Structure 1
Amino acid sequence: MWDFIVAVGLVLALEGLMFAAFPRAAKQAMSSVLETPDQMLRIVGIVCALVGILVIWFVRG
């Protein structure tokens, strides 16, 4: 459980840094996501989740 809380904190820190450092690019990215078809977002989400699981699996081994 402790690792999960650390992971959530890391995600929040990275997201916050992106919005603070590149606010215009963050707005453009959100705008393009709204225009992306649902099926494409679903595929990208699944691929990202699988890559994340593989990274955790290799690191925690």
Structure 2
Amino acid sequence: MQDFFAAIGLVLVIEGLVYGGFPGLARKLAGDMLSMPENALWIAGLAAIAAGVGIVWLARGG
């Protein structure tokens, strides 16, 4: 459970860096997502999940 909370904390840090450090870029990316087809968002989401699982697996000693 401790690892879960650490992971949530890291997600918040990364998102905070984007919104706090580059608010114009965050706004542009959000606008771009609105114009993307749902299928492209679905594929990008699945790719992000796969990459995340792979990174965790490697970090844990795979």
State TM-score, norm by structure 2. 0.92
1:33 to partner: Cα distance: 0.4
| Aligned structure 1 segments of 4 or more residues deviating by more than 2 angstroms | none
Tell me, in whole angstroms, the C-alpha distance in 1 between the residues paired with 2:51 and 2:14.
18
**Percent identity (aligned):** 38
Distance 1:17 1:58 in 2: 24
In structure 2, what is the equivalent of residue 34 of structure 1?
Answer: 34
Report the aligned-residue RMSD. Answer: 0.8
What is the TM-score of this pair, normalised by structure 1?
Answer: 0.93
- Unmatched 5+ stretches in structure 2: none
User: Size of the alignment, in residue pairs?
Assistant: 61
